[in-house]
Structure 1
Amino acid sequence: MKIENVEDLRVLVETARGGTLTAASKVLGVTPAAASAMLKRLEAQLGQRLFERSTRAMRLTPQGQTLLDYASRALDLLEEGESQLAARSGALVGTVRVAAPSDLTRCVLLPMFDAFLAAHPGAQLALSVSDRVQDVMRDAVDLALRYGELADSRLVARPLFASRRVLCGSPVYLKRHAAPTHPHDLSAHNCLTFEISGRRLATWRFEKDGEWTEVRVDGDRGADDAAIAHQWALAGVGLVCKSELDVWHDLRAGRLVRLLPDWQGEHRPLSAVLPSNRFVPARVRALVDFIAAQFAVLAGTQERPQADDIRRPPHEPGVPAASGRKR
């Protein structure tokens, strides 16, 4: 039993990720027929069937799953070795594939990525921005930045920031609508909702003195991109409940105002997530260390935004008047 061509292993990995030979062929830049021939050659060499074929997709056999785990690690090691041979003086070389939430990327991460790439000219970034939670075990991702607790024991998470959701609105909106003093007051406000992985977040939870209050909210608009809900809040059309990190700079600048300051939103810790069974290249470890250091500085900021003065002047001249309804 001998694997004669490393490209055959790439077909195995990409077919498992994409679910079809056609998807694998697109990633590898070969025809579907060529990808099929490479997979058949690998199965013939091993004397094992690696996939169960169907008209819609291909499913790994137990033997295929076993080989996939080792093949993924072997290809990662090979890529890292090639990168280090090409590197000068131990410089970081190669692409880091990162998946991150939409609003967090735009509001916080982009300057961090820019600084990292400036410090390491041999590194490249392939960024996937989405509010869909990507599968770092299957998708072509080296690192995922993810909110919330992890349920998958196959993943390794490095905590980055202990964030919570905060309720906020713009000074423009709050000039026209009385600020809520209790979560139940939200029924009279235009609440801006968004989806994460196809689930609309229309139930907002707040805690005070150890007791949780759950409120079903509604508004005249929602989006499948959290960054859009954020922009609507800045424009003064309603209230939004988002991770403190996503609205950090807007709260500090007064473009948004934190509401219900005596209530705590849901805990939404941010973590750097990697698959536990995959080799971690030096460039990925370096990026995680760099981002962790940046968030440590952010967490050490002397004053976390606790704005509750709705009389502060707006910092965005020309913001359009909102149609936020009171229901």
Structure 2
Amino acid sequence: MKIENLADLHVLIHTARTGTLSAAARALGMTPAAASAALKRLEGQLGSRLFERSTRAMRLTAQGQILLDYAQRAFDLLAEGESMATAHHGTLVGALRVAAPSDLARNMLLPWFDEFLAAHPGVELALSVSDTPLDVTRDEVDVALRYGPLADSRLIARPLTTTRPMLWAAPTYLARHGTPTTPQDLLQHNCIAFHIAGRPARTWRFGRDGQWTEVRVKGNRTADDAALARDWAIAGHGIIYKSVPYLHHELQHSPLVRLLPEWDTPPYPLQALLPSGRFVPARVRALVDFLVGKFDGLQQE
């Protein structure tokens, strides 16, 4: 066996994912010099260059890509064996790395995660909360919760629920500015836009009797954090276009008013995304099944 230290393969995998040796070293808790020595050791043992190096990034060679693919498969098999060997009478153990939108996590998921961890004390949760989606494969996420259609063929999706954005405003705002009765009335209102893919989503769609219309709204506030947009609406600063799961807590504890309820809005799926081809530990499958049940119960409510 030419490869003498399997830990060196972790350096290869993390360097390929992050694109730089320094980022890989930080992720692995080692010095850049040690990470560089690990790669040089691998290349010396195999007699092949694994990366093309530049001042900005490191790009895999053809030989490096081959080794990366097999290394990932090898560690997946080890993870599967570890999971099976440590599973005692159905007990779930190990780390769960979950990524979720910030407002969804704060308003709905946190108590659900508490319930799941209480039922499975051997599981450790590492939660990444952001409205900027992580790369599921590169950032080593076990499961990511995302809205919208699946755009990456390297992922597999488990549907959780389908939501529809709705119009909401505080009574204080409506008392000052009036209540819109048609989508076109929104052109006369302050509409709070939420960023999607780095840009404010200002085109809002409405349908009735099979006919759809789009309104290009305007306003003096935009946010890349859903919680900020929600708080502005609660404070009476404008109208928001958001789905019920995001506002589950507010619907129970604040006087937000739904507007234009007779108009349809486009469906917006929420999905649990997992890396395709990677071994899925029992703890990950259990969490996804748990969330499916929770969202099913929410829809029934």
TM-score interval w.r.t. the shorter chain? over 0.9
Who is 2:6 aligned against? Answer: 6
SS in 1 for 2:37: helix
Residue 53 of structure 1 corresponds to which residue in structure 2? 53
Aligned-pair CA distance for 1:292:
0.8
Structure 1 counterpart of 2:198: 198
* Structure 2 residue identity aligned to 1:231: D
| 1:32-71 superposed matches below 5 A | 32-71=32-71
Distance (whole Å) between structure 2 residues aligned to residue 128 and residue 233 of structure 1: 25
- Point out the more displaced range, 284-293 or 86-95: 86-95
In the alignment, residue 251 of structure 1 is paired with which amino acid?
L
Query: Does residue 78 of the first structure (1) align with residue 64 of the second (2)?
Result: no
Determine if contact 2:80/2:279 at 8 Å carries over to the other structure.
Answer: no
Residue-by-residue CA offset, 1:134-163 (whole Å, 9 max, x unaligned):
211211211000100012222100000011
Match of 2:249 in 1: 249
Question: Could you tell me how far 1:216 is from its partner in structure 2?
Answer: 1.5
Give the aligned partner of residue 159 of structure 2.
Answer: 159
Q: Aligned residue for 1:210?
A: 210
* Structure 1 letter corresponding to 2:189: H
1:1-327 alignment runs, 5 A limit: 2-82=2-82, 85=85, 88-253=88-253, 255-301=255-301
Distance in structure 2 (CA, Å) of the matches to 1:20 and 1:144:
24
Letter in 2 for 1:66: I
What's the secondary structure of 2:117's corresponding residue?
helix
Deviation at 1:76, TM superposition (A): 3.5
Aligned residue-pair number:
301
8 Å CA contact 1:84, 1:90 repeated in 2:
no
Describe the SS at the equivalent of 1:118.
Answer: helix
Secondary structure in structure 2 of the residue aligned to 1:291: helix
CA deviation after TM superposition for structure 1 residue 63, in Å: 2.9
Q: Secondary structure at the match of 1:106?
A: helix
- The code of the aligned residue for 1:25 comes to A
For 2:27 and 2:297, locate their aligned partners in 1 and report how far apart those are by CA, in whole Å: 39
Q: Is the 8 A contact 1:15 1:21 kept in 2?
A: yes
- Normalization by structure 2: what TM-score? 0.94
What amino acid maps onto 1:30 in structure 2? M
Question: Could you tell me which amino acid in structure 1 is paired with residue 275 of structure 2?
Answer: P
Q: 1:8-61 deviations in whole A, cap 9, x for unaligned?
A: 111011111211110111111111111011112222223332221110011122
Question: Structure 1 pair 64/161, CA: closer, same or farther in 2 (3 Å)?
Answer: same
- Using the TM superposition, give the Cα deviation of residue 245 of structure 1 relative to its aligned residue in structure 2, in angstroms: 1.3
SS in 2 for 1:284: helix
SS of 1:258's equivalent in the other structure is strand
> What is the identity, as a one-letter code, of the residue corresponding to 2:146?
R
Residues in 2 aligned to 1:70 and 1:205: alpha-carbon distance in whole angstroms: 46
Q: Is the 8 A contact 1:84 1:92 kept in 2?
A: no
The alignment's C-alpha RMSD in Å is: 1.8
When the two structures are superposed, what TM-score results if normalisation uses the length of structure 1?
0.86
CA distance, structure 2, for counterparts of residue 291 and residue 187 of structure 1: 38
Does 251-260 or 53-62 show the bigger shift?
A: 251-260
* DSSP 3-state at the match of 1:162: strand
Higher helix share goes to which structure?
2
Please, which runs of 5 or more residues in structure 2 have no aligned partner?
Answer: none
Question: Structure 1 residues 257, 70: CA separation in 2 closer, same or farther (over 3 Å shift)?
Answer: farther
Distance in 2 between residues matched to 1:236 and 1:180, nearest whole Å: 15
Letter of the 1:295 partner, please give it.
F
CA distance in 1, matches of 2:18, 2:27: 9
Structure 1 residues 259 and 73, CA gap change in structure 2 (3 angstroms):
farther
Q: Which runs of 5+ in 1 are unaligned?
A: 302-327
Output the CA distance in 1 between the equivalents of 2:51 and 2:254: 56
Deviation of 1:172 (Å): 2.3
Closer/same/farther in 2, CA of residues 66 and 260 from structure 1, 3 Å limit: farther
